[in-house]
Structure 1
Amino acid sequence: MAVAAAAPAMLVTGWTVAGARQPPDYDPVRDTISELAGEGATDPWLMGGVLVLLGVAYVATAAVLHAAGLASRFLLALGGTATVGLLAFPRPEVGGSPAHGVVATVAVLALSLWPAGSALRLPRAVRREVAASPTGTPPWAFRRPVALTVTAVLLVLFGWFVMEVTGGSRTGLAERVAALAVALWPLAAVLSARRAATTSAPAPVPPGRPGAGG
């Protein structure tokens, strides 16, 4: 849970600290996060390091989030890997980079679609736990209406960012809102799975009662 909680905190801290290091003409509402790690940035290693840690956090969360389906965990890990991969294709100081755009798109789409994977099919072990639970429902983050709604919202935010890129003046704001929403959902999913596991755990048998050891 600590890793999932660290992701949004690192992201906000990273773009705040790195943004403060840029020249006065840098505008976080207009300019993107990628520019903070790009070739023309002041101290690009700051945001670059955050992107590496963020990607690793996504991969680590995917590795331990067994309540999610295999497809969801694969997409989350893919999104984390693509996030790290952005460093191999930094945004140039002038003009754009098709390679950077492709890797960024893969990262955003994978991180937007991963909630829907669990909505379509839960792992067998989780289905057994759900069947044996008092409520008979999966953890709230993996319930189909919730997961599909989250994916829809993330895709809408991504669409807003694309619209700003093609002719808006709030590209940086749109990217930050979408990135923060993407970073918060793994934490929500981990908290949901942990709460469900705690709720479904059998209560300890007091000593002297039937079933107690000794």
Structure 2
Amino acid sequence: MRSVPRWALLSSGCAPVVLFGGPTIAAVIHGPGYSPVRQTISVLASDGPSGYWALTTTLIVLGSCHLVTAWGLRPAELAGRLALGAGGVSAMVLALFPAPNSGGSLSHGSVVAVGFSLLAVWPVLAANRSGGAPWGLRPVPSVTVSALMLAGGAWFLFELQTKGAAGVAERVLTAAQSLWPVVVVVSCLRHSSPDGDQPIS
């Protein structure tokens, strides 16, 4: 089985850091009027140039991380790698369609839906059904994670429609989607190690 290069650990590990740090900075710029419980991350881009650029930078770097990780995940099935990479591209494209100051946006909502869907299904598409696959690419964990992410997407839509805790639901979902690539990369590196502790590239 092909090994995963060590730089994939850097790209996958940077994704959750960027996803946490970028919106945090944008929220500070936005000020106390922003509610991370009720409002989505996208709202932060509608508060003038400073907030827009903070979130735009986050989306571009996050998308790049997913693209690089998809490139390095050689043991994963091609369909899953393509879905992860396309999810990264969706994040970057989202920067071109910021949320409006008020009301909805079909273009913004469509890109969000496509991105969330791709990042939700990539684990099951990446699952390696051959014997001896790394834990993160085995069918049972992959199917379970994809199912949980899809459930998280349904929860987010519910909270968004009912004007409830949409911010919380979105953050839980995006956190899971940014952390799972790290889990998969680590499991692949450990799997390729002769002693199970020291990864090799």
> After TM superposition, is the score higher than 0.5?
yes
Aligned position for 1:148: 143
Q: CA deviation at 1:188?
A: 0.5
Query: Aligned partners of 2:89, 2:142: CA distance in 1, in Å?
Result: 22
Aligned pair count reads 188
Q: Residue in 2 aligned with 1:103?
A: 111
| CA apart distance, 1:44 | 1.4
User: Contact between 1:35 and 1:41, CA under 8 Å: does it hold in 2?
Assistant: no
Amino acid at match of 2:75: A
Paired residue for 1:6?
Answer: 14
Q: CA offsets, 1:53-91, max 9 Å, x none?
A: 000100110011001100000100110000100011111
Within-5 A mapping of 1:68-83: 68-83=76-91
CA drift at 1:36: 1.3
Change (3 A) 1:176 1:80: same
Structure 1 counterpart SS, 2:34: coil
Using CA pairs under 8 Å that are at least 6 residues apart, name the structure with larger relative contact order, 1 or 2: 2
- Residue identity over aligned pairs, in percent, reads 36
In structure 1, the residue corresponding to 2:186 is in which secondary structure?
Answer: helix
Counterparts of 1:16 and 1:35, CA distance in 2: 13
Structure 2: runs of 5+ lacking an equivalent: 1-8, 197-201
Equivalent position amino acid for 2:133 in 1:
P
1:45-84 matches, cutoff 5 A: 45-84=53-92
Letter in 2 for 1:49: T
- The structural deviation recorded for 1:42 is 4.8
Match of 1:28 in 2: 36
Judging changes above 3 Å, is the alpha-carbon distance between structure 1 residues 44 and 4 closer, same or farther for their aligned structure 2 residues? same
Residue in 2 that maps onto 1:196: 191
The unaligned stretches of length 5 or more in structure 1 are: 131-136, 202-214
**Post-superposition CA distance 1:132-168 (Å, at most 9, x none):** xxxxx21001111110000011111111100011113
Tell me the SS of whatever aligns to 1:20: helix
What is the root-mean-square deviation of aligned Cα atoms in Å? 1.6
Letter in 1 for 2:149: L
For 1:143, the aligned partner's letter is: R
